[in-house]
Amino acid sequence: MARRTSFAGCSFVLFLWLVCCATGLCATGAESPNRDAFVYILNIGIRDNKIVYNGLRVGFAVGDGRTILTAAHCVEDFENANHSLFQPLVISSYYGDIFEAEIVESDEENDIAVLRPTWQSHPGLRIETSDRWKQAKKLAVAGYHPSDLAQGGDRKISRRVSVREETVVRTDGQGRHAIQLGSVKYPGKGWSGSAFVLPDTGAVVGILSNERYVRRFFRKKHYIFGCNAEAIREVFQRNSLAPAAFPSQFVERSGYEHFESILKLFDSILVDDTQESRRTIEELCRIRSESYVLHILAAWMLDAPEAEEYFTKAIEQAPDRAFPHATYGSYLLHHGKPKSALRQFQSTIAIDPNHVFAHTGRIVALTRANPQKAEMQARELIDKWPSNGGFWFELSRALREQRKYDRELPIIRKAVELPHADRLQHLYQRHLADSLANNEKFSEAEEAYKIALGEHSCARCWSAYTSLLIRMGAERAEDAKQALDNARKMNGSNAVPPATIRKYETIIRRMTATESSVR
């Protein structure tokens, strides 16, 4: 009996060892990196008056934790632009909270991004200072594992930090392909930004950048690539950052329970469970009453008047941060309160004079409340940022509001010529077409409307085109009728007021009747 028990025990231990080796979580003499050093980077923000959620990215803190590393392509969506505000937000399991961060540098050649979060300290990984990694036969990939499959087949954001040991193919490549590992069993999208570490010490020697299939010996195999420690050190030197060789010691915190709740929130967003999202964010704000970022997220997810209460609390908690003021200003502007929005945008600019999103919001608010002042301030912004097409666009709108059509046309032409986001191309073209029509340049206006419709066929564009065709006279009545039919079909959300549709219908009927009587 004793021998059978001993054999069973040995078998069990052997089984566990095999499982660990198979999952890449165990290696002889390996030092597992501190899981609290790994973070999620939340990609959520405002774009064209809408809240847009683009998922989570992965990264990790280094040294004393005041610096976060990830892949540059993981932060390329973040911007403070005319009509977009995507502020990097970092989810920490150590604190069980979400924090703002700023992008210190994004090195596209090596695919390295350096972020500075608002916390003062945090667990971090050690950056390798020797060249041991150049001769390494194995390196480990450490980071949050790409999203797990939950029961029922739904995607679920991963809670587990995995450490997978992989075979080194080369360490002498260039840029984002300096280190090559493989072949690997690729777990799916979401791995970029993970750390390459030495298996025996857990020290960072690179950042996972990309993956691709490579044909070797008549077979396609999966390989992963990334920058190396030398490139990381160069980025640190350029920004006068000290890559602490040894991370600080930290006491354990009880933040993981709240971290789990935060990920549960985004699990529910992922499957469009609005009720669960609202319940979870309200509970998080109750537990984390001092977290202004969580209150902003709550305001985005809840309806008025609750939303305003959460924005107000966020500003009370962080009155000297630009982000709460800018997001509240956007909310107020979208809900028809331009004067209140103006105060929030002015507070934002007082904190950050170069906040492009807030400057744009201020001009939009002034255009509704005081277009003459909006024109004056838009011209000041153009003097400061002459290549910003968004400010030229807002100036054109302020001029149109004052019916200064002849002055508006060269301004909107300039806005169209200058670089601007592709998604706004149809909007700029439509405004150019409107301006041409207001200056009775009907032929040019029609061509501009056709370009706008080719970029983005929507109810507003078809409605504006209908208006032009009506102005061109009875001979275009049939074209106007067809354009209005298109506008009506696409107007499910009433982007064009139904009263406008009815008005155009009446005018076109009269035009058609007139054309028939002439015949």
Q: 183 and 331 share a domain? A: no
Domain boundary among 317, 345, 376: 317
Q: 387 and 414 share a domain? A: yes
Q: Where residue 44 falls among pLDDT bands split at 50, 70, 90?
A: very high
Over 60: is that where the pLDDT of 25 sits? no
Q: 435 and 305 share a domain? A: no
Q: Check residue 247 and give its pLDDT.
A: 59
Average pLDDT, the chain: 90
Q: 473 and 335 share a domain? A: yes
Q: 394 and 461 share a domain? A: yes
Count of residues in the chain: 519
Q: Check residue 244 and give its pLDDT.
A: 62
Identify whether the C-beta of residue 58 lies closer than 8 Å to the C-beta of residue 230: no
Distance CA 445, CA 467 (A): 11
Over 50: is that where the pLDDT of 3 sits? no
For 437-478, the pLDDT digits (tens) are 999 999 999 999 999 999 999 999 999 999 999 999 999 999
- CATH of residue 170's domain is 2.40.10.10
- CATH of residue 348's domain is 1.25.40.10
Q: Where residue 154 falls among pLDDT bands split at 50, 70, 90?
A: low
Over 50: is that where the pLDDT of 243 sits? yes
- Vertex 309, ends 304 and 313: CA angle to 5°? 150
Q: 330 and 469 share a domain? A: yes
Residue range of the domain that includes 209:
132-229
Over 80: is that where the pLDDT of 22 sits? no
Domain assignment of residue 6, yes or no? no
Domain assignment of residue 2, yes or no? no
Q: 190 and 290 share a domain? A: no
- Count of domains in the chain? 3
Domain assignment of residue 31, yes or no? no
Over 50: is that where the pLDDT of 178 sits? yes
Domain boundary among 202, 229, 256: 229
Domain assignment of residue 39, yes or no? no
Q: Which two tokens stand for residue 506?
A: 């009446």
Contacts of 71 (CB under 8 A, 6+ apart): 57, 111, 112, 113, 192, 193, 207, 208, 209, 226
Domain assignment of residue 514, yes or no? yes
Q: 352 and 388 share a domain? A: yes
Q: 440 and 471 share a domain? A: yes
For 194-237, the pLDDT digits (tens) are 999 999 999 999 999 999 887 767 788 899 999 999 999 999 99
Q: 280 and 377 share a domain? A: no
pLDDT (average), residues 390-412? 98
Q: 402 and 498 share a domain? A: yes
- Vertex 175, ends 171 and 179: CA angle to 5°? 25
Over 60: is that where the pLDDT of 431 sits? yes
Q: 139 and 198 share a domain? A: yes
